[in-house]
Amino acid sequence: MTLKAGEKARIAKQFIEAIPFSKALGMNLDDIGDGFAVISMPWNEDLVGDPQSGVIHGGAVSALMDTCGGAAVMSHPDAPAGTATIDLRIDYMRPATPGQRIIARAECYNVTRSVGFVRASAFDEDEDRPVATAAGAFTVERPKEKEAKA
């Protein structure tokens, strides 16, 4: 890769903000750097999973974690852009408070030739108690011809 870190972050931001599903959920890329990403999502009535409490559906939190994890992999210095989720496990610690924004932080802590390993956590306005944590594995997609030369 010959791209500078700043350039790569700019491309990643553009790429992530063009994802239709992330857009539909109102996600915003707050920060991105070498192997980490911060993405937030506002509370929205459409995303409610429990009508009696107004709590956002776990699936929407998964979607936020998945997007954030993918962004962390794409921004890793050793990973060329382009990734897909292999597996993702989410642990739900508590319901997100209705009306509050959810912020996910993901870190791609290891990259091999083919796999990026990610940890992530999600918080609402209470920054001391996580709403959810996640662990996942993502593909690292390398261009075919480059792979042959390497």
Partner 1 sequence: MTRPRPEPVQVVKERRDRALELLVKGVPYARFMGIEFDRRGDELTAIMHYNEKLIGNPFLPALHGGAIASFLEMTSIIGLSWQTLWDDIESGRTAAEDLSPETMPRLPKTIDFTVDYLRAGLPRDAYARARVNRSGRRYASVHVEAWQDNRDKLFAQATGHFLMPSRNGNGARVG
Does 109 engage in binding with partner 1 (CB under 8 A)?
A: no
Among 12, 37, 47, 131, binds partner 1 (CB under 8 A): 47
Q: Does 81 bind partner 1 (CB under 8 A)?
A: no
| Position 124 contacts partner 1 (CB under 8 A) | no
Asked if 122 interacts with partner 1 (CB under 8 A), we say no
Q: Does 51 bind partner 1 (CB under 8 A)?
A: yes
Of 3-11, 71-79, 91-99, 142-150, the segment contacting partner 1 by CB under 8 A is 91-99
HEC letters along the chain? CCCCHHHHHHHHHHHHHCCHHHHHCCCEEEEEECCEEEEEECCCHHHEEECCCCEECHHHHHHHHHHHHHHHHHCCCCCCCCCCEEEEEEEECCCCCCCCCEEEEEEEEEECCCEEEEEEEEECCCCCCCCEEEEEEEECCCCHHHHHHC
Question: Where on the chain is the footprint of partner 1 (CB under 8 A)?
Answer: 18-25, 45-52, 56-60, 62-67, 70, 84-92, 95
